[in-house]
C-alpha cells in the first residue's frame, strides 16, 4: 500500500497525484491535509514517514511547497529513504539506485503534467540491487549506530 500526504503548499498537486494513482488502480491512503488552511509540514511528513518506517505502508508520496521540508522530516525515520526529485531522470535514479521508498515533490515548483511523469517513472522503476544494495546496507549500518548512540 501507498500513503500520501501534503501541507497546504502541496495540496493542489496532491490532488493531481491522487488522480494518477486512481487511474493506475494503486491503493493508497491520503493522510492529509485536506484544505488550503496553513498547516505545519512536519506533521504530515511524520504521518507518511512513520507509516513507511513501521511497515504499515510500503511506499509514500510527500508534497510541500518545495519538497525540501518534507524531505528533511521523512529522512529522520529509520529505514526511510525519501528522495526529493525534480524530473523523471531523478525519479528513476531514486528508485533504481537508492530504492527510495518515499518520493517527495514540490507543489510550487512542478507543473501537474511534470509531476505525473515523475511519479509514473518512479512507480515503474525497479531497484537495481547489486552494488546499490551494498550502499543501502551501509546507510542502514549508520542508522543503527546513530540509534545505539555509537556516533
- Residues involved in catalysis: 64, 97
Residue 111: partners with Cβ closer than 8 Å, 6 or more residues away: none
Cell, residue 32: 492529509
Three-class HEC string of the chain: CEEEEECCCCHHHHHHHHHHHHHCCCCEEECCCCCCCCCCHHHHHHHHHHHHHHCCCCEEEEEECCCHHHHHHHCCCCCCCEEECCCHHHHHHHHHCCCCCEEEEECCCCCHHHHHHHHHHHHHCCCCCCHHHHHHHHHHHHHHHHHCCCC
Amino acid at each position: 500500500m501507498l500513503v500520501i500526504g501534503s501541507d497546504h503548499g502541496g495540496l493542489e498537486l496532491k490532488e493531481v497525484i491522487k488522480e494518477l494513482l486512481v487511474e493506475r488502480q494503486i491503493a493508497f491512503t491520503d493522510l492529509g491535509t485536506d484544505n488550503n488552511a496553513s498547516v505545519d509540514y512536519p506533521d504530515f511528513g511524520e504521518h507518511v514517514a512513520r507509516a513507511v518506517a513501521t511497515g504499515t505502508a510500503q511506499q509514500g508520496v510527500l508534497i510541500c511547497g518545495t519538497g525540501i521540508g518534507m524531505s528533511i522530516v521523512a529522512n529522520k525515520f529509520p529505514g526511510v529513504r525519501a528522495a526529493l526529485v525534480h524530473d523523471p531522470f531523478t525519479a528513476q535514479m531514486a528508485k533504481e539506485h537508492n530504492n527510495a521508498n518515499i518520493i517527495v515533490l514540490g507543489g510550487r515548483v512542478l507543473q501537474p503534467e511534470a509531476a505525473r511523469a515523475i511519479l509514473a517513472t518512479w512507480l515503474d522503476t525497479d531497484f537495481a540491487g547489486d552494488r546499490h544494495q551494498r550502499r543501502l546496507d551501509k546507510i542502514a549500518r549508520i542508522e543503527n549506530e546513530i540509534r545505539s548512540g555509537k556516533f
